[in-house]
Structure 1
Amino acid sequence: MVSVDLFTTLCLGTIIVLVYHYLVKKYHYFLSKPIPCVKPTILVGTSGPLLFRKRDLATHMKVMYNAFPDAKIIGMYDLTSPIYMLRDPDMIKKLAMKDFDHFTDHGPYLTNGRTDDNAGGDSLFGNSLFAMRGQKWRDMRAALSPAFTGSRMRPIFELVTKCGRSMATFFKEEARAGRKLEYEIKDTFQRYGNDVIATVAFGIEVDSMRDYNNEFFEMATKMLSFSSWKMVPLMVIMRVLAALGQKTNMDFMDSKLSDHFKKMIRDNMKQREVNKIVRNDMINILMEVRNGSLKHQQDEQETKDAGFATVEESNVGKTTHSRKWTDNKLFAQCFLFFIAGFDTASTLMSFLAYELSVNPEIQERLHDEIRQTEDSLQSKPLSYEVLQKMQYLDQVVSEALRKWSPNMQLDRYCRKDYLYDDNAGTRFVIEQGHMVVIPVIAMHHDPQYFPEPERFDPERFSEENRSKINTGAYLPFGVGPRNCIGSRLALMEVKSIFYHLVRDFRLVLSEKTQIPLKMAKHPFALLVEGGLWVEFKPRSGINE
């Protein structure tokens, strides 16, 4: 009996030692590379502080970024997988733009077996433009690109600004009723974003401030639950055991909720086809994509008309294709717009409202520009063209995107071996299958590129100062052909609501907001513990 116990113990001990040495060897990858590496911890690599809620993602990215201040590229470990972090703006542009054919995709853990058309292809997230890979991504980008040009934004603008007017009117009604206008603004702007996406993407009019628990908002809240802490174990499995995730059809979305979402879009499309309804929204655009009738206007020129932060479309988005898209692929694009409009945009708007409330002089200067614009309109409604000409509003939004960029990092997957050469003596091969991370939030807070980075200063983006900005270090909407396709829509959504709110109200920080801000230790999102609370105080002489 003793011999069996001893044998078992020896076997277990041997297995433990072998596993330990296997893991240790996994962390030897960067020893053969001429670059510095952040020291990893067994099993969790350099991701431990995120997994164990010691840091929020923004802080973690800054710590990694600042570990080797003089390096252009460094090594890290996402659990047991070696990844590269690019720290140099010129090399970022080189890899993401000039040498894009080596880095065309996001990480493979975002996809699973449910993206295969032959297997049903019903994954909303896996089939989205963000998660698509290879030629499918190129074709979908080209198919959708004409929908997000300046000419397409103009007819959509009225739908967006109507939501902004409605929210401002609601606040005025509440003020006349004697109620205190104090709100947790992440929730408030999610409601606004919900209304915008409902009308722009789905042709559904909802009012989430008056109809507080409307079905569309409830569905959005449930769908966004995939960004909660409950999803961390699933994401770890899908990253470490990608093959298992594909074979078992793991997905970020609840299947019942996903089916309900797709049915809503399918019914909407069918109703329009039967009744020959045409509306300037995303459903109509996707129907054009399905029919192959959505094209770029030949005489349209790419401009920065929507603002400094706007990203330009690459040649990938201007190519032609003949692929026939399944309904599931089209539904997935609606889902992506839904998530971006509901959560990502509301994060930016929340922190912009916070900055205006703690910087009253900036808020008043913005109000002055809005009043001047109102006077020039002479009682005519705000138009897309007029909104885009508001210079200080664009500066304010651009600075909010710098300091509080919701897209805190970018990732690229190396599709084929790449010879990294910074022309300064560092030269080595990034092998196929490895990930490269671009630390957007850390670069936005690097004093080398943005002096006094913790100060909210819209003057960084004034006409006189714009030329000083290193565009490789300012990446709120990404970089290269895989940049954010909806930057114009996002900027329009943000600018429209702040035009109406700052015109009619003063934004004042509520005592419920903890100062200094204490960031929630979340692995994906920019969130504040206790929430961001702001009070809207009616200005004298506002339109009743």
Structure 2
Amino acid sequence: MLWEFLALFAIAFALFYRWATANNDFFKDRGIPFAKPTLYFGNMTEMFLRKKAMFDIVCDLYTKGGSSKYFGIFEQRQPLLMVRDPDLIKQITIKDFDHFINHRNVFATSSDDDPHDMSNLFGSSLFSMRDARWKDMRSTLSPAFTGSKMRQMFQLMNQVAKEAVDCLKQDQKSVQEMDLDMKDYCTRFTNDVIASTAFGLQVNSFKDRENTFYQMGKKLTTFTFLQNVKFMLFFALKSLNKILKVELFDKKSTQYFVRLVLDAMKYRQEHKIIRPDMINMLMEARGLIQTEKTKTGPVREWSDRDIVAQCFVFFFAGFETSAVLMCFTAHELMENQDVQQRLYEEVQQVDQDLEGQELTYEAIMGMKYLDQVVSEVLRKWPAAIAVDRECNKDITYEVDGQKLEIKKGDVIWLPTCGFHRDPKYFENPKKFDPERFSEENKDSIQPFTYYPFGLGQRNCIGSRFALLEAKAVIYYLLKNYRFAPAEKSCIPSRACQFRFPIGSQIRILD
């Protein structure tokens, strides 16, 4: 019996080994320099063992590429061609965009999927949509993020930002200083902004700390060990997951957001309610509400899942991505008191110019130094640490006299944080220096070396939104408080496993 068991174990291990190493010679066969992978985990072992943050792993792999303009790496079994040359990135994302329209097909739903199945909302989102469906949805959603729409949304953001600081004042009472968990504070703020601007809900997560909208959102975006294992298996065993119908996200939280969107659509349709938010725009495009635009424009053939998915991913992306930006901004201001002082002076000047009136969209957009500070935070701590593209048609480039063949199905990786931390493009990259983005200096930044929100037609559609809400909360915090190190602050700042700063507490002084 023992020998039979050992024989079966040996056969199983041999089959697993063959499967796990099937792509190990992918780059070797093409004559492309690459980082040697470990069994199954590729070049991401330290991330799965939680020894190193993904941010640091990408920076290390970028550095390992040396002088090569492209370098092969492995995300588990998946070969990724890391592009390290700005000119080649320009070719891929702009000039040859028709060869690289899509992100890789990790989550995407297929045409034969049940349109009422809400188990894979991420796969029906704008991020995962492909080819013509992506173009159609992108053109529909783009008007929601224009300057005029941002001006309208800013009124809602501004109200949430004021409420967030008012609640701090109530908590602080007569105390001159207090320690503030910026991760908790910023995620509550982004939660309330998204509830208002996307879902039409009035939520105050600072007063009602256990409200359902916040609790469900937190469940969706908190990555436990089990969640990490699910992701790992989802990437590795896509076909099996489809058969077993493994759900990536918490089912109860997903169903909550599905009902929230569908019920809001039904109520608005019955009562002819118009709101300048994402749900309204999607209903209009689908022909569920009648406006001047629907009388002349085409009606989209979208399922309930398509509409719910856009709201879902807007929440999922905005909940933490914007909060990460706010957290690191506060940390860098805490560490760099000279920068904080200069920004404080700009805030005070704007406040004086407003003469007691509400903060306006024009006023915050005119704050040049605040824009420099946020731009430098995005350079040093980009929320999207890398951008991927999937090749849909074979193409060949000549790089330094050598042919680089990229075939259909190959995945391209553009390491954002690698470029942002490369001393070749940003002198003394670990130094926090907003002057890099001053009027005098920003034009000297080499194109395609700074792309915190992606590049080309497939860049982040919500970048304006994220910047605006981050600037609003920083304005109100600095107007009322100064940032100083707390006992649990980590100096210098470092990214943890899930992108936020390690030791996210800072001390605020009245």
> What range describes the TM-score normalised by the shorter chain of this pair?
over 0.9
Q: CA deviation at 1:30?
A: 1.2
Cα deviation digits, residues 1-59 of structure 1 (max 9, x gap): 9xx95x98678657755764665553112122232111112222222222222221011
Q: Contact 1:171 / 1:181 at 8 angstroms: preserved in 2?
A: no
Structure 1 window deviating more from structure 2 (194-203 vs 102-111): it is 102-111
Q: Distance in 1 between matches of 2:183 and 2:212?
A: 19
- Where structure 2 has 5 or more consecutive residues not aligned to the other structure, the ranges are none
1:372 aligns with 2:349: yes
Which residue, out of 150, 155, 163, partners 1:158?
A: 155
1:242 aligns with 2:256: no
Q: Distance in 2 between matches of 1:329 and 1:381?
A: 37
Q: CA deviation at 1:386?
A: 1.7
Q: Superposition pairs for residues 441-480 of structure 1, below 5 Å?
A: 441-480=417-456
Which residue, out of 266, 275, 280, partners 1:279?
A: 275
Q: Contact 2:176 / 2:509 at 8 angstroms: preserved in 1?
A: no
Q: Distance in 1 between matches of 2:504 and 2:197?
A: 27
Measured at CA, do residues 26 and 279 of structure 1 come closer, stay the same or move farther in structure 2, by a change above 3 Å?
closer
Cα deviation digits, residues 253-284 of structure 1 (max 9, x gap): 23332222111122222222233322222222
Q: CA deviation at 1:246?
A: 2.2
Q: Distance in 2 between matches of 1:439 and 1:294?
A: 44
Q: Superposition pairs for residues 181-220 of structure 1, below 5 Å?
A: 181-220=178-217
Q: Contact 1:112 / 1:245 at 8 angstroms: preserved in 2?
A: no
Q: CA deviation at 1:250?
A: 2.5
Measured at CA, do residues 204 and 64 of structure 1 come closer, stay the same or move farther in structure 2, by a change above 3 Å?
same
Which residue, out of 305, 314, 327, partners 2:304?
A: 327
Aligned-residue RMSD, C-alpha: 2.6
Measured at CA, do residues 254 and 176 of structure 1 come closer, stay the same or move farther in structure 2, by a change above 3 Å?
closer
Measured at CA, do residues 510 and 14 of structure 1 come closer, stay the same or move farther in structure 2, by a change above 3 Å?
closer
Q: Contact 2:331 / 2:493 at 8 angstroms: preserved in 1?
A: no
SS in 2 for 1:477: coil
Cα deviation digits, residues 298-343 of structure 1 (max 9, x gap): xxxxxxxxxxxxxxxxxxxxxx865322221111111111112211
Identical columns (%)? 37
- Find the counterpart in structure 2 of residue 87 from structure 1: 84
Q: Contact 2:346 / 2:367 at 8 angstroms: preserved in 1?
A: yes
Which residue, out of 313, 335, 338, partners 1:358?
A: 335
Q: Contact 2:217 / 2:253 at 8 angstroms: preserved in 1?
A: no
SS in 2 for 1:451: coil
Measured at CA, do residues 268 and 296 of structure 1 come closer, stay the same or move farther in structure 2, by a change above 3 Å?
closer
1:337 aligns with 2:309: no
Structure 1 window deviating more from structure 2 (322-331 vs 451-460): it is 322-331
Measured at CA, do residues 42 and 32 of structure 1 come closer, stay the same or move farther in structure 2, by a change above 3 Å?
same
Q: Contact 2:285 / 2:300 at 8 angstroms: preserved in 1?
A: no
- Find the counterpart in structure 2 of residue 346 from structure 1: 323
Structure 1 window deviating more from structure 2 (369-378 vs 59-68): it is 369-378
Q: Given residue 536 of structure 1, which amino acid in structure 2 is its aligned partner?
A: I
Q: Contact 2:116 / 2:305 at 8 angstroms: preserved in 1?
A: no
Cα deviation digits, residues 208-259 of structure 1 (max 9, x gap): 111111111111111113x333222222222222211223222322333222
Q: Contact 1:112 / 1:249 at 8 angstroms: preserved in 2?
A: no
Q: Distance in 2 between matches of 1:13 and 1:250?
A: 29
Structure 1 window deviating more from structure 2 (57-66 vs 248-257): it is 248-257
Q: CA deviation at 1:191?
A: 0.6
1:440 aligns with 2:428: no
Q: Contact 1:288 / 1:294 at 8 angstroms: preserved in 2?
A: yes
- Find the counterpart in structure 2 of residue 527 from structure 1: 500
Structure 1 window deviating more from structure 2 (229-238 vs 451-460): it is 229-238
Q: Distance in 1 between matches of 2:77 and 2:291?
A: 44
- Find the counterpart in structure 2 of residue 504 from structure 1: 480
Q: What is the number of residues matched between the two proteins? A: 507
SS in 2 for 1:416: coil
Measured at CA, do residues 34 and 322 of structure 1 come closer, stay the same or move farther in structure 2, by a change above 3 Å?
farther
1:396 aligns with 2:369: no
